[in-house]
A and B are shown apart, each in its own frame.
Chain A
């Protein structure tokens, strides 16, 4: 059994128990029981009234009168009035109460009954405060009847005659109902159905009764039938009745129905109590002990039988909003905590003193408006002297002009008339002094002034902070050697891997080998055709120079007297015999483009070890770092512009099937198996192993002329004919890291130093630019580019100036191949 049911049961048991005791006691106890249960209060009272009915059986007749009166009392009327609008529910309520009464000890209270009881009690609680005070006064007799008739549905017909019945009759009837009560139990719903019909009330409304004075009726019942006016008694009748009826003094006329109502003893008591200004009910104990049912103590069982409402488990939304509002206000400083308020109040109460002796701190100074100095007045001139030199005094003509301008004094030369006084003692008071001071003050006061903030940015500050070139030494600073001997523009130059020798290629058809340190030409190879390029193999164990002339690529061995004889001999040995033919068999496309040939004896004597003939002129030559591969760029060869030769197998490859553009130059990546191909607008990086495009770099230049790769391999420098020098950080992005405009003419040659963080660029300008290009191993640090030095270059020949650049492999020396038939070494 759920706890709340048990509670209800207990309540019933209580009420049943009181049946045996006096009505007063029981009422009190029940009220004590359910004082705090608002919904149970009326229930208990109705119980009480019901129990009264039960009592009637056992009590004497004399007491029954009381019971009848008690039925008529205000409380019960109140109950009825409430039950009337409640309709079926109220009828059921009374039924169930009757049921409880009858089976007081039988304990068969079913769930439906209980729930109905609860329901009714709820409704009772809702309307308990509703009834008007006046309604109880107007309670007609037939209302008491309605209740009784409700309890006794077997006698509906008697209702009409009830009005005329005497109080005795009424009492008798009540007695009857009590007697027949058990019978009533048989048909409980019948009473509920008929209750409405039997309810005879005057529906005239809340209107003065004298409105009906001229009518034979006094109002209408619920069926809109007229309620007939009871027979009017005149004074004689009244008098007679007064004499005859001992109860006349307690008979009052109900103004609503015009019938006589006999006030019961309780009514009288009530009136008496009211007159004495006491509580209407004698049973109510004003000072009964207060029981704290709803306390903070958690009870073992819930006090209230019904489960907690869902909202009691949910945080209150409105409270949350309120709290949030308060918190926000606290955060924003709109509201203050008590402590803050107290602090403020205390601070306000403290007396404020001005720090008279304080020096005035910076903050205070800053708060104060800056005092604007008054503009300075011009210093007095000679004319203002008390004894001005005679040339400042006005002569006659000037005086005439002075007088002429009397109307427009601001056009005068002076604002005063220069006058001479013999001594300072004789100078009179200046008549305009006060006036001028006043005007001056007006000027200062009225003319708005402001301090002019001048923004001073010097040109030096806008220059980015770069280390001084002095700190970035060593780098070439001057020309030290001029290698003369060529009869034509020198197209390119290169050092041998150790840096002892340099090789140069010239348009005069010769290739010369030079000693670097002295500038001595050690060897000249006559080739008979303008030589386009010469490049020394980077392999230290070989002595080979790749020379491009016309459509041919020759591999020269500079000879035993240049470099190590053993290396030269070994190179000759390696190149003397051709590899097996099947290894070198090319496909048709390659064969059409390149043909390998062993040199004849004359050529061999000149140093030529291998000759390759291409189908188009060779533009540029680039060695792979290992020295086995040579990459050749051909002019106007479309898709076959780039050819890669492998020396050890004497084999050529055409890496590209389709032309992506006009190939300017191609070179091998210094560290990775990649090929860098520069076309007119873009530089593409191809992976040679996977044979795919790795990335495409857009220098943003109109016409790329040359490309140089940083020896570490992650940076690329692109020179262009439109005077740009573009640095790419391949790790960073495919966009230029920096575009340098160091040249006034086309950039034709670039080179990175292999050891020092240096690069040089030159072109059609009459100077070379050496720059510091530091690449850090820390990937987060961007390369540092500092242009270091403009070296005076060779003189211009036609449009050309410098055609090739090469750094010494170990020293910070720069070799420039110039169009003026010389090579220049800068250090």
Chain B
């Protein structure tokens, strides 16, 4: 059978959406046991014919029937149940270049949260502190303030010299900090208290006016990011002087029956939250109600929303990543991505590419995925020696992950020429 498949000739036509790599769309006859590397040489040879100016050899990925080619063409077709008789259309696109390890930022304790903005990396650790690093790997600041492990951090805004960020911790509070970049001084402006149990996750809205937190007390709370009290709702309790100002939540959304593990803004008015009660809930912030519910069959650990492809990618208490379409009313998993060998703890969409996302799991692996390749990730970003707790791809060129081995690993993503 294998011999037969190897001998079979295939009629293929190469198409691409990247015009600079276009080749003539006349059909070619190829061996069916050909792999993507051999296809590469073929395409490059063709490219050299059509466009002799193109100097270097370009690596391509090949899509057959909407799925990335990882094995031989024959096996791929057999898996998809396609005929080898007809002319096959193979779409090719420039391969995302392999990220290279750039840095390893050592912490004193487990790194539980990370977020980047521009050149600045914000990380939260189990030693109750928040750290600021730059992309060169320089440790700028270690900010103690929380009394329990920091579970979530996020940049809010950069305005000139002043940077605002927020951190949520298991001490049931969320703190709004102002960092003077040039002076390298930090100040806790507001302490947000409203959760009964530890804050597990937070997310800042796109306009940076509000942020949402999810907690172990099953609630999702919305807070204002304004640094002053006046333009917000009046403070009900007298804030304690030593703690700075204390702020109450704008809204509290009760609906989850168990811990809220992740919140993400979908647009300025919609938030998606995932919980240990196997539910994804999409909330309307204005109305404070549930717009939609997606039922999974495992506890969700993380969820991320991509405005580029309007899809939700989730990590749950098993080895799989699941892609949901929030527009469909039924809770049907569109695709399941399986490659991790332990629980997947964190998942992040690329901000620039609609088909790529990053996942971090308890197997110590960070994986870079292409949505059209559910079985095999594009790249395994290995290096961590223990459970990876968080990952971030906010800066398109930086793939960052924090782990239980007290390190924050930074991978540099080389920009593909036609990437953005």
Q: Is A782 an interface residue (CB 8 A)?
A: no
The answer to whether A500 and B362 touch (CB under 8 A), given A561-B147, A563-B197, A827-B317, is: no
Q: Is B389 an interface residue (CB 8 A)?
A: yes
A interface: dominant SS: loop
Interface size on B, residues (CB 8 A): 31
List 24 A-B residue pairs with CB atoms under 8 Å apart, sorted by A's residue number. A473-B297, A474-B297, A480-B342, A480-B343, A480-B362, A481-B343, A498-B258, A498-B259, A499-B276, A500-B216, A517-B301, A518-B110, A518-B112, A518-B387, A561-B147, A561-B170, A564-B172, A565-B171, A565-B172, A810-B276, A810-B277, A811-B299, A813-B317, A827-B318
The answer to whether A566 and B148 touch (CB under 8 A), given A480-B342, A480-B362, A811-B276, is: no
Q: Is B217 an interface residue (CB 8 A)?
A: yes
Min CB distance A125 to B, Å, is 107
Q: Is B196 an interface residue (CB 8 A)?
A: yes
Binding site for B on A (CB under 8 A): 473-474, 480-481, 498-500, 517-520, 522, 561, 563-566, 810-811, 813, 827
Min CB distance B300 to A, Å, is 11
Q: Is B347 an interface residue (CB 8 A)?
A: no
The answer to whether A811 and B317 touch (CB under 8 A), given A564-B172, A566-B196, is: yes
B174-197 vs A, CB cutoff 8 Å, 1 = contact: the mask equals 000000000000000000000011
The answer to whether A481 and B172 touch (CB under 8 A), given A500-B216, A810-B276, is: no
Bound-complex Cα distance A405 to B358 (A): 90
A811 / chain B contacts, CB cutoff of 8 Å: 276, 299, 317
- Are A827 and B343 in contact, CB atoms less than 8 angstroms apart? yes
B12 / chain A contacts, CB cutoff of 8 Å: none
Choose from B149, B258, B317, B345 the contact partner of A520 (Cβ within 8 Å): B149
- Of all chain A residues, the one with the shortest Cβ separation from B148 is A561
Min CB distance A520 to B, Å, is 6
- Are B389 and A500 in contact, CB atoms less than 8 angstroms apart? no
- Are A518 and B404 in contact, CB atoms less than 8 angstroms apart? yes
Choose from A519, A522, A564 the contact partner of B387 (Cβ within 8 Å): A519
Q: Is B126 an interface residue (CB 8 A)?
A: yes
A480 / chain B contacts, CB cutoff of 8 Å: 317, 342-343, 362
Given contacts A481-B387, A520-B110, 19 further A-B contacts (CB under 8 A): A474-B298, A480-B317, A480-B362, A498-B197, A498-B259, A499-B276, A500-B198, A500-B259, A518-B345, A518-B387, A561-B148, A561-B170, A561-B171, A564-B172, A564-B196, A564-B197, A810-B258, A827-B318, A827-B343
Min CB distance A548 to B, Å, is 28
A519 / chain B contacts, CB cutoff of 8 Å: 387
Binding site for A on B (CB under 8 A): 110, 112, 126, 147-149, 170-172, 196-198, 216-217, 258-259, 276-277, 297-299, 301, 317-318, 342-343, 345, 362, 387, 389, 404
B276 / chain A contacts, CB cutoff of 8 Å: 499, 810-811
Min CB distance B170 to A, Å, is 6
Choose from A474, A481, A518, A522 the contact partner of B389 (Cβ within 8 Å): A518
B387 / chain A contacts, CB cutoff of 8 Å: 481, 518-519
- Are B362 and A498 in contact, CB atoms less than 8 angstroms apart? no
B110 / chain A contacts, CB cutoff of 8 Å: 518, 520
- Are A564 and B389 in contact, CB atoms less than 8 angstroms apart? no
Bound-complex Cα distance A473 to B317 (A): 14
Bound-complex Cα distance A561 to B147 (A): 7
Q: Which 7 A-B pairs have the closest CB atoms?
A: A561-B148, A564-B197, A564-B196, A480-B343, A500-B216, A811-B299, A827-B317
Bound-complex Cα distance A498 to B126 (A): 21
- Are B297 and A564 in contact, CB atoms less than 8 angstroms apart? no
- Of all chain A residues, the one with the shortest Cβ separation from B299 is A811
B170 / chain A contacts, CB cutoff of 8 Å: 561
Min CB distance B137 to A, Å, is 25
Bound-complex Cα distance A563 to B217 (A): 9
Bound-complex Cα distance A549 to B95 (A): 61
A561 / chain B contacts, CB cutoff of 8 Å: 147-148, 170-171
A474 / chain B contacts, CB cutoff of 8 Å: 297-298
Min CB distance A516 to B, Å, is 10
Min CB distance B37 to A, Å, is 34
- Of all chain B residues, the one with the shortest Cβ separation from A563 is B197
Bound-complex Cα distance A813 to B404 (A): 21
B172 / chain A contacts, CB cutoff of 8 Å: 564-565
- Are B216 and A498 in contact, CB atoms less than 8 angstroms apart? yes
B197 / chain A contacts, CB cutoff of 8 Å: 498, 500, 563-564
Choose from A473, A481, A499, A563 the contact partner of B362 (Cβ within 8 Å): A481
Min CB distance A703 to B, Å, is 37
Min CB distance B361 to A, Å, is 10
Bound-complex Cα distance A810 to B279 (A): 14
- Of all chain A residues, the one with the shortest Cβ separation from B343 is A480
A565 / chain B contacts, CB cutoff of 8 Å: 171-172
Min CB distance A512 to B, Å, is 15
Bound-complex Cα distance A563 to B197 (A): 6
Min CB distance A523 to B, Å, is 10
Bound-complex Cα distance A480 to B110 (A): 18
A810 / chain B contacts, CB cutoff of 8 Å: 258, 276-277
- Of all chain A residues, the one with the shortest Cβ separation from B128 is A561
B277 / chain A contacts, CB cutoff of 8 Å: 810
Bound-complex Cα distance A480 to B343 (A): 7
Min CB distance B116 to A, Å, is 22
A500 / chain B contacts, CB cutoff of 8 Å: 197-198, 216, 259
Min CB distance B110 to A, Å, is 6
B196 / chain A contacts, CB cutoff of 8 Å: 564, 566
- Are B217 and A564 in contact, CB atoms less than 8 angstroms apart? yes
A473 / chain B contacts, CB cutoff of 8 Å: 297
Bound-complex Cα distance A810 to B318 (A): 16
Bound-complex Cα distance A566 to B276 (A): 22
Bound-complex Cα distance A561 to B172 (A): 9
- Of all chain A residues, the one with the shortest Cβ separation from B197 is A564
B317 / chain A contacts, CB cutoff of 8 Å: 480, 811, 813, 827
Bound-complex Cα distance A499 to B342 (A): 20
B298 / chain A contacts, CB cutoff of 8 Å: 474
- Of all chain B residues, the one with the shortest Cβ separation from A521 is B126
A564 / chain B contacts, CB cutoff of 8 Å: 172, 196-197, 217
B259 / chain A contacts, CB cutoff of 8 Å: 498, 500
A481 / chain B contacts, CB cutoff of 8 Å: 343, 362, 387
A498 / chain B contacts, CB cutoff of 8 Å: 197, 216, 258-259
Bound-complex Cα distance A498 to B259 (A): 9
Min CB distance B112 to A, Å, is 8
B342 / chain A contacts, CB cutoff of 8 Å: 480
Bound-complex Cα distance A481 to B386 (A): 11
Min CB distance A649 to B, Å, is 28
With most chain A CB atoms within 10 A of its CB, the pick from B258, B277, B299, B389 is B299
Bound-complex Cα distance A588 to B13 (A): 95
Bound-complex Cα distance A236 to B64 (A): 168
Min CB distance A245 to B, Å, is 147
- Of all chain B residues, the one with the shortest Cβ separation from A480 is B343
Bound-complex Cα distance A813 to B343 (A): 12
- Of all chain A residues, the one with the shortest Cβ separation from B147 is A561
Bound-complex Cα distance A104 to B343 (A): 135
A517 / chain B contacts, CB cutoff of 8 Å: 301
Bound-complex Cα distance A566 to B194 (A): 12
Bound-complex Cα distance A522 to B147 (A): 12
Min CB distance A823 to B, Å, is 15
- Of all chain A residues, the one with the shortest Cβ separation from B277 is A810
A827 / chain B contacts, CB cutoff of 8 Å: 317-318, 343
Min CB distance A470 to B, Å, is 13
Min CB distance A536 to B, Å, is 15
Bound-complex Cα distance A561 to B196 (A): 11
Bound-complex Cα distance A522 to B172 (A): 15
Min CB distance A814 to B, Å, is 13
Bound-complex Cα distance A473 to B298 (A): 11
Bound-complex Cα distance A758 to B318 (A): 18
A566 / chain B contacts, CB cutoff of 8 Å: 196
- Of all chain A residues, the one with the shortest Cβ separation from B259 is A500
B112 / chain A contacts, CB cutoff of 8 Å: 518
B258 / chain A contacts, CB cutoff of 8 Å: 498-499, 810
